[in-house]
Chains A and B, each alone.
Chain A
Protein backbone atom coordinates (compact mmCIF):
# COMPACT_ATOMS: atom_id res chain seq x y z
CA UNK A 1 0.00 0.00 0.00
CA UNK A 2 2.73 2.43 1.02
CA UNK A 3 4.61 1.88 -2.19
CA UNK A 4 1.47 2.47 -4.25
CA UNK A 5 0.89 5.73 -2.41
CA UNK A 6 4.49 6.77 -3.02
CA UNK A 7 4.22 5.94 -6.73
CA UNK A 8 0.95 7.88 -6.93
CA UNK A 9 2.54 10.94 -5.33
CA UNK A 10 5.57 10.68 -7.65
CA UNK A 11 3.31 10.56 -10.72
CA UNK A 12 1.30 13.47 -9.35
CA UNK A 13 4.53 15.46 -9.03
CA UNK A 14 5.45 14.59 -12.62
CA UNK A 15 1.98 15.72 -13.73
CA UNK A 16 2.47 19.02 -11.93
CA UNK A 17 5.84 19.51 -13.67
CA UNK A 18 4.36 18.67 -17.07
CA UNK A 19 1.52 21.09 -16.36
CA UNK A 20 4.04 23.79 -15.48
CA UNK A 21 5.76 23.12 -18.81
CA UNK A 22 2.43 23.40 -20.63
CA UNK A 23 1.50 26.61 -18.84
CA UNK A 24 4.81 28.37 -19.38
CA UNK A 25 6.40 27.29 -22.64
CA UNK A 26 8.91 28.96 -24.96
CA UNK A 27 7.44 27.55 -28.16
CA UNK A 28 4.09 26.05 -29.04
CA UNK A 29 5.80 22.67 -29.50
CA UNK A 30 7.03 22.70 -25.91
CA UNK A 31 3.46 23.30 -24.86
CA UNK A 32 2.20 20.33 -26.90
CA UNK A 33 4.99 18.21 -25.38
CA UNK A 34 3.86 19.15 -21.88
CA UNK A 35 0.22 18.41 -22.69
CA UNK A 36 1.14 15.01 -24.13
CA UNK A 37 3.25 14.04 -21.12
CA UNK A 38 0.46 15.19 -18.83
CA UNK A 39 -2.01 12.93 -20.64
CA UNK A 40 0.08 9.76 -20.49
CA UNK A 41 0.97 10.32 -16.85
CA UNK A 42 -2.70 10.91 -16.02
CA UNK A 43 -3.55 7.57 -17.51
CA UNK A 44 -0.92 5.87 -15.32
CA UNK A 45 -2.08 7.84 -12.29
CA UNK A 46 -5.66 6.58 -12.70
CA UNK A 47 -4.40 3.01 -12.91
CA UNK A 48 -2.41 3.48 -9.69
CA UNK A 49 -5.22 5.12 -7.70
CA UNK A 50 -7.59 2.43 -8.96
CA UNK A 51 -5.32 -0.08 -7.23
CA UNK A 52 -5.02 2.12 -4.14
CA UNK A 53 -8.78 2.30 -3.71
CA UNK A 54 -9.36 -1.32 -4.73
CA UNK A 55 -11.50 -0.25 -7.69
CA UNK A 56 -10.04 -1.92 -10.78
CA UNK A 57 -12.95 -0.70 -12.96
CA UNK A 58 -11.05 2.60 -13.04
CA UNK A 59 -8.84 0.93 -15.63
CA UNK A 60 -11.48 1.50 -18.33
CA UNK A 61 -11.07 5.21 -17.80
CA UNK A 62 -7.29 4.91 -18.05
CA UNK A 63 -7.74 3.29 -21.48
CA UNK A 64 -10.05 6.14 -22.56
CA UNK A 65 -7.47 8.66 -21.40
CA UNK A 66 -4.71 7.02 -23.42
CA UNK A 67 -6.89 6.98 -26.55
CA UNK A 68 -8.33 10.48 -26.20
CA UNK A 69 -4.92 11.94 -25.43
CA UNK A 70 -3.55 10.49 -28.67
CA UNK A 71 -6.49 11.77 -30.72
CA UNK A 72 -6.19 15.21 -29.14
CA UNK A 73 -2.47 15.32 -29.97
CA UNK A 74 -3.07 14.39 -33.59
CA UNK A 75 -5.84 16.97 -33.86
CA UNK A 76 -3.54 19.66 -32.45
CA UNK A 77 -0.78 18.78 -34.93
CA UNK A 78 -3.23 18.64 -37.83
CA UNK A 79 -4.92 21.96 -37.15
CA UNK A 80 -1.63 23.62 -36.28
CA UNK A 81 -0.82 23.44 -39.98
CA UNK A 82 -4.03 25.34 -40.76
CA UNK A 83 -3.73 27.99 -38.08
CA UNK A 84 -0.02 28.83 -38.24
CA UNK A 85 -0.16 32.60 -38.51
CA UNK A 86 1.47 34.53 -41.29
CA UNK A 87 4.20 36.02 -39.12
CA UNK A 88 5.12 32.57 -37.81
CA UNK A 89 5.50 31.41 -41.41
CA UNK A 90 7.66 34.43 -42.16
CA UNK A 91 9.98 33.67 -39.25
CA UNK A 92 10.29 30.11 -40.49
CA UNK A 93 11.13 31.18 -44.03
CA UNK A 94 13.82 33.60 -42.83
CA UNK A 95 15.28 30.86 -40.66
CA UNK A 96 15.41 28.54 -43.65
CA UNK A 97 17.18 31.23 -45.64
CA UNK A 98 19.74 31.49 -42.87
CA UNK A 99 20.32 27.74 -43.09
Chain B
Protein backbone atom coordinates (compact mmCIF):
# COMPACT_ATOMS: atom_id res chain seq x y z
CA UNK B 1 0.00 0.00 0.00
CA UNK B 2 2.80 2.39 0.94
CA UNK B 3 4.76 1.24 -2.10
CA UNK B 4 1.78 1.89 -4.31
CA UNK B 5 1.25 5.43 -3.05
CA UNK B 6 4.96 6.21 -3.46
CA UNK B 7 4.75 4.80 -6.97
CA UNK B 8 1.71 6.98 -7.69
CA UNK B 9 3.58 10.09 -6.57
CA UNK B 10 6.60 9.14 -8.70
CA UNK B 11 4.47 8.51 -11.78
CA UNK B 12 2.59 11.80 -11.40
CA UNK B 13 5.86 13.69 -10.99
CA UNK B 14 7.32 11.89 -14.01
CA UNK B 15 4.32 12.73 -16.17
CA UNK B 16 4.46 16.35 -14.97
CA UNK B 17 8.15 16.72 -15.80
CA UNK B 18 7.81 15.19 -19.25
CA UNK B 19 4.94 17.57 -20.00
CA UNK B 20 7.01 20.57 -18.90
CA UNK B 21 9.81 19.34 -21.15
CA UNK B 22 7.49 19.09 -24.14
CA UNK B 23 6.17 22.60 -23.50
CA UNK B 24 9.74 23.85 -23.17
CA UNK B 25 10.42 22.40 -26.61
CA UNK B 26 8.12 25.08 -28.01
CA UNK B 27 8.41 27.97 -25.58
CA UNK B 28 12.16 28.45 -25.25
CA UNK B 29 13.67 31.10 -27.53
CA UNK B 30 16.73 29.44 -29.09
CA UNK B 31 17.92 25.95 -29.94
CA UNK B 32 20.34 25.44 -27.04
CA UNK B 33 17.78 26.27 -24.36
CA UNK B 34 15.37 23.93 -26.10
CA UNK B 35 17.95 21.10 -25.97
CA UNK B 36 18.39 21.87 -22.30
CA UNK B 37 14.62 21.71 -21.66
CA UNK B 38 14.23 18.46 -23.56
CA UNK B 39 17.23 16.56 -22.23
CA UNK B 40 17.05 17.48 -18.54
CA UNK B 41 13.36 16.73 -18.23
CA UNK B 42 13.85 13.57 -20.29
CA UNK B 43 16.32 12.21 -17.75
CA UNK B 44 14.32 13.08 -14.64
CA UNK B 45 11.05 11.82 -16.16
CA UNK B 46 12.71 8.54 -17.17
CA UNK B 47 14.09 8.01 -13.66
CA UNK B 48 10.78 8.86 -11.97
CA UNK B 49 8.53 6.82 -14.26
CA UNK B 50 10.77 3.72 -14.31
CA UNK B 51 11.09 3.75 -10.51
CA UNK B 52 7.36 4.28 -10.26
CA UNK B 53 6.86 1.17 -12.37
CA UNK B 54 9.52 -0.82 -10.47
CA UNK B 55 7.61 -0.32 -7.22
CA UNK B 56 4.63 -1.99 -8.88
CA UNK B 57 6.53 -5.17 -9.87
CA UNK B 58 7.01 -8.32 -7.78
CA UNK B 59 10.79 -7.69 -7.86
CA UNK B 60 11.65 -10.43 -10.37
CA UNK B 61 12.92 -10.50 -13.96
CA UNK B 62 10.58 -7.62 -14.84
CA UNK B 63 12.39 -5.40 -12.34
CA UNK B 64 15.74 -6.29 -13.90
CA UNK B 65 14.42 -5.47 -17.37
CA UNK B 66 13.07 -2.12 -16.14
CA UNK B 67 16.45 -1.33 -14.61
CA UNK B 68 18.06 -2.26 -17.93
CA UNK B 69 15.76 0.17 -19.77
CA UNK B 70 16.67 2.84 -17.20
CA UNK B 71 20.39 2.25 -17.70
CA UNK B 72 20.08 2.31 -21.50
CA UNK B 73 17.97 5.45 -21.56
CA UNK B 74 20.16 7.24 -19.01
CA UNK B 75 23.23 6.50 -21.09
CA UNK B 76 21.87 7.11 -24.55
CA UNK B 77 19.49 10.05 -24.16
CA UNK B 78 21.87 12.61 -22.60
CA UNK B 79 24.68 11.45 -24.90
CA UNK B 80 22.47 11.98 -27.93
CA UNK B 81 21.48 15.45 -26.70
CA UNK B 82 25.10 16.32 -26.05
CA UNK B 83 26.22 15.14 -29.48
CA UNK B 84 23.33 17.02 -31.09
CA UNK B 85 24.12 20.27 -29.28
CA UNK B 86 27.79 19.88 -30.10
CA UNK B 87 27.24 19.36 -33.80
CA UNK B 88 24.70 22.21 -33.86
CA UNK B 89 27.37 24.45 -32.36
CA UNK B 90 29.88 23.10 -34.86
CA UNK B 91 27.39 23.72 -37.65
CA UNK B 92 27.21 27.40 -36.70
CA UNK B 93 24.00 27.73 -34.71
CA UNK B 94 24.04 30.72 -32.33
CA UNK B 95 22.59 31.25 -28.87
CA UNK B 96 20.09 34.04 -28.33
CA UNK B 97 22.55 36.58 -26.79
CA UNK B 98 24.93 35.96 -29.68
CA UNK B 99 22.18 36.51 -32.24
CA UNK B 100 21.32 39.81 -30.50
CA UNK B 101 24.99 40.81 -30.48
CA UNK B 102 25.38 40.17 -34.20
CA UNK B 103 22.18 42.10 -34.90
CA UNK B 104 23.47 45.08 -32.92
CA UNK B 105 26.72 44.98 -34.86
CA UNK B 106 24.75 44.97 -38.09
CA UNK B 107 22.77 48.03 -36.98
CA UNK B 108 25.82 50.01 -35.87
CA UNK B 109 27.92 49.22 -38.93
Q: Do A and B share a direct contact in the complex (Cβ within 8 angstroms)?
A: yes
In the assembled complex, the CB of B96 is this many whole angstroms from the nearest CB of chain A, namely 13
Contact among B25, B65, B102 for A56, CB-based, below 8 A: B65
In the assembled complex, the CB of A6 is this many whole angstroms from the nearest CB of chain B, namely 7
Cα–Cα distance between A74 and B84 once the two chains are bound (Å): 9
Count residues on chain A whose CB falls below 8 Å from chain B CBs: 50
> Tally of A-B residue pairs with Cβ under 8 A?
139
Q: Which of A4, A14, A74 has the most CB of B within 10 A?
A: A14
Please state if B21 and A66 are interface contacts (CB–CB under 8 Å). Answer: no
Count residues on chain B whose CB falls below 8 Å from chain A CBs: 50
B residues bordering A, Cβ < 8 Å?
7-8, 11-12, 14-16, 18-19, 21-23, 25-26, 31, 34-35, 38, 42, 45-46, 49-50, 52-53, 56-57, 62, 65-66, 68-69, 72-73, 76-77, 79-81, 83-84, 87-88, 91-94, 98, 102, 105
A-B contact pairs, 11 of them (CB 8 A): A7-B15, A10-B19, A11-B18, A11-B49, A29-B87, A33-B31, A33-B84, A40-B42, A66-B73, A70-B77, A98-B102
Instruction: Give 10 nearest A-B pairs by CB, closest first.
Output: A10-B15, A92-B92, A70-B76, A17-B22, A59-B65, A14-B22, A66-B72, A29-B88, A56-B62, A73-B80
